[in-house]
Every structure is written in C-alpha cells, then in structure tokens.
Amino acid sequence: MHAYLDWNATGQLRPEARVAVAAALDVTGNPSSVHGAGRAARSLVETAREQVAALVGVTARDVVFTSGGTEANMLALSAALGDTLLVSAIEHPSVRGGGRFAAAEEIPVTPAGIADLAALERLLAGRSRPLVSLMLANNETGAIQPVVAAAAMVHAAGGLLHVDAVQGPGRIACDFQALGADLMTLSSHKIGGPQGAGALIRRDGLPLDALIKGGGQERGLRAGTENVAGIAGFGAAANVARQRWTEEAARMAILRDKLEACIKAVASQAVIFGAEAERLPNTTLFSVPGMKAETAVIAFDLEGVAVSSGAACSSGKVSPSHVLAAMGVPEAIGRGAIRVSLGYATSDEDVGTILKAWEKLSESLYKSGNHQEIAA
C-alpha cells in the first residue's frame, strides 16, 4: 500500500479540476483574439478569475494570474510599493530572497515559530513606506501567523502588507479583507489544481510594476498568452475548495491528531515542532534524536510512504531548515525533521500505513537502546 503524505509540496489533482483542464484543452482560441474561438478561451479565463476571487472574498478585478506562487511573490515584492522590505525569518525562499528589492531585513520568530510582533514594531519605527511580507501559515511547521495584528501595525506605519497564503485556502479561513492584506499570493497546485498556475490578489487596484513585460495581458500586469487550461483547472479547484474546506479541514485535523499521538506513543522522545502554536489542520513536522532526514525520507519511501524533509522547494535537495534555525531548534534534533502533510483525499488507511512504517523505523533507530541513524 502506498500513502502520499506530502500535500504541502503539491496536492492531488481534484477530479473537478481534471475535467476543467481537459475541457479547456479542447478550446483552441487565444484569449486575446476577438473571434469566437478567442472569446471562448477568454470566457474560461474570466470564469476562473471569478472562482479564485470568491475563494478569498475579493472581486475578479483584484486577481492577477501568474505561473505560480513564486512568480506572484516576485510580482508583489517590488520597490515600486515601498522603500524598504521586511520579511519574516520563516518565509518561503522566493520571499526571503527579497523579490526585486536589493535586500530584505528579517523579522525574527518565537520558539513556537510565530512572527515576533514586538520585533516587527521596532523594525517599523522610523521607516518610510515599508513593505512587509508575512506568510499566512508556515509550509514546514504549519504555524499560523498573526497576520491581522501585523496588518494593523504595518498600516499604522504607513506601509503595505503582502501575505503569502499558498498553504491556507482549503485548510483555514482565508478572507483577504478580514486579514487586512494589501497583496496576497495563491497557488493552484496547493489546493488540488494543476501545477503552473497561481495568482496575486491586490487591494483596490494597487499599482504594480509588471515583472513580465510585453503584451497587455492581465491588464498589462503579466505579459504572455494565458495558460488557459491551467487557469481553468485552478478555478475549478478553487470553487471546490471554497465549498468544502470546513469539512475537509475537520477531517484532516482528526487524522493529524491521531498521527501525532501515535508518533509520540511509538517514540516518546519525538518532538512535534510548533505544537504549542495554532497550526494548519494537516501539517506535522517532527523529529527524534539521532535521526537524519535524508535517510529517513528514503526509508519511508521504501515502505511506500511519501513524506518530505521540511520544505520541498529546492530541486530535491535536503538541507538544514531555515525555519527551525529561526525558531532556535538545535541542529542535532532539527536535522532529522520530517514533514507529514495531509490533504483532502488522505484516508485512515494512509495514516495507518505511515504509522506502520514509523514503528519499523523507530525500532531500527532505537534497537539495542542505541540512538542510531535510521538505515535506509
């Protein structure tokens, strides 16, 4: 039996999205063409724009389609929107890299993996037009960030707030207006849509400096013929996620709690990172002394279980987690961190499969009472 438990990296394509992609592939027209075929393609794009807008409580004109979350982050992090850039220490690499700013200053986080608002307040003092980027929920620990409070502080300082929300929709409430965001990044494949599509949400026509220039697509904010099939699938996934997220999230939370209880029962020394914070209902990041992530991931894979060593955004590389480092986690325990992330289609059987694999790996790790590295 195989269990896919790496949904924070990418989700299983929803059946509704698959149908929408297939239907869109049969539409030949360019969305910028004025003939009937072009108008048919444009209709698919605009329907999807309305569906994505509804997912986060905005109007269709606030949605700019991109190739994914990374491009949306780059589009948002422009010096045209601020004089300085502040980002939390646990952001995605595309945010920590500073976007189109020369550099970014980091906002520290607490040991629970939550942005330190007192530190943010100090960093904002005396700034001229600060742009702040704070994710909605961390992709490794699942820790939900204090976006509403941060937005109030940033706006009081005369700045703007960008929220990388790719891990939020379909798992927690994600209302653009309620969060107080000025910009928000979304990704199709995190919610059961196809890879290669994403969106940047902007407040009230906030002026953006186009990252990809050329044609007038996306109201001049993203040149290039639209990925009609990808966008159509994104819209379909957004529509389903909006309708079902509360029931899906509740079921994922039950499975996650069962998983974490059993992880601890098998290995009492196991550490669940960020457990003291409010977290996504689907995410568990854990480790035990003596375990190394690279060999543990392989060992799980050999048992038919797909998990990740923290984030999966670096071409398959396994490297120390900057998130755990920012939380002050000692390298000796942090180097073994394994992320298990559930999704809308995760079953009780999937959780049972990983727990059987964990029992086997723990026995190998602790055999004869020695803290030995798991043998792949």
User: Cβ distance 292 to 373 under 8 Å?
Assistant: yes
Q: Which of 311, 261, 310, 293 is nearest to 361 (CA)?
A: 293
**For this structure, is 262 an active site residue?**
no
Res. 364 pLDDT band, cuts 50 70 90: confident
Q: Report how far apart, in Å, the C-alpha atoms of 318 and of each of 81, 142, 312, 322, 337 are.
A: 34, 19, 8, 12, 11
Q: List 285's β-bridge partners, or say none.
A: 339
C-alpha 205/C-alpha 14 separation (Å) is 31
Position with higher pLDDT, 103 vs 50: 50
pLDDT at residue 315 above 80? no
Strand order in the sheet with 63-66: 63-66, 198-202, 183-187, 160-164, 130-133, 84-88, 105-107
Q: For position 1, what pLDDT does the model report?
A: 55
How do residues 248-295 score in pLDDT, each as one tens digit? 999 999 999 999 999 999 999 999 999 999 999 999 999 999 899 999
**Residue type (1 letter), 272:** I
Residues ≥6 apart with Cβ < 8 Å to 247: none
* pTM across the whole model: 0.94
Lowest mean pLDDT among 132-141, 349-358, 360-369: 360-369
**Residue type (1 letter), 312:** A
How do residues 325-342 score in pLDDT, each as one tens digit? 999 999 999 999 999 999
Which entry of 112, 173, 313, 345 is annotated as an active-site residue? 313
CATH architecture assignment, domain 3-10+245-369: Alpha-Beta Complex (3.90)
Which position has the token pair 């899906």? 248
pLDDT at residue 190 above 60? yes
pLDDT at residue 170 above 60? yes
User: Cβ distance 236 to 53 under 8 Å?
Assistant: no
CATH of 15-241, one of 3.65.10.10, 3.40.640.10, 3.40.190.10, 3.40.50.10490: 3.40.640.10
Question: Looking at residue 38, what DSSP letter applies?
Answer: H
Structure tokens at 117: 């608002």
Mean of pLDDT over the chain? 94
User: Cβ distance 364 to 374 under 8 Å?
Assistant: yes
pLDDT at residue 210 above 80? yes
Q: List 5's β-bridge partners, or say none.
A: none
What is residue 288's three-state secondary structure? coil
pLDDT at residue 314 above 70? no
C-alpha 136/C-alpha 94 separation (Å) is 15
**Residue type (1 letter), 310:** G
Q: Do domains 3-10+245-369 and 15-241 have the same CATH topology?
A: no
Res. 319 pLDDT band, cuts 50 70 90: low
How do residues 70-99 score in pLDDT, each as one tens digit? 999 999 999 999 999 999 999 999 999 999
Mutual angle of helices 348-366 and 293-302, in 10-degree steps: 130
pLDDT at residue 100 above 60? yes
Q: For position 320, what pLDDT does the model report?
A: 76
pLDDT at residue 316 above 60? no
| Region 310-322 average pLDDT | 62
Using a pLDDT cut of 70, give the percent of the chain over it.
94
Annotated domain spans of the chain: 3-10+245-369, 15-241
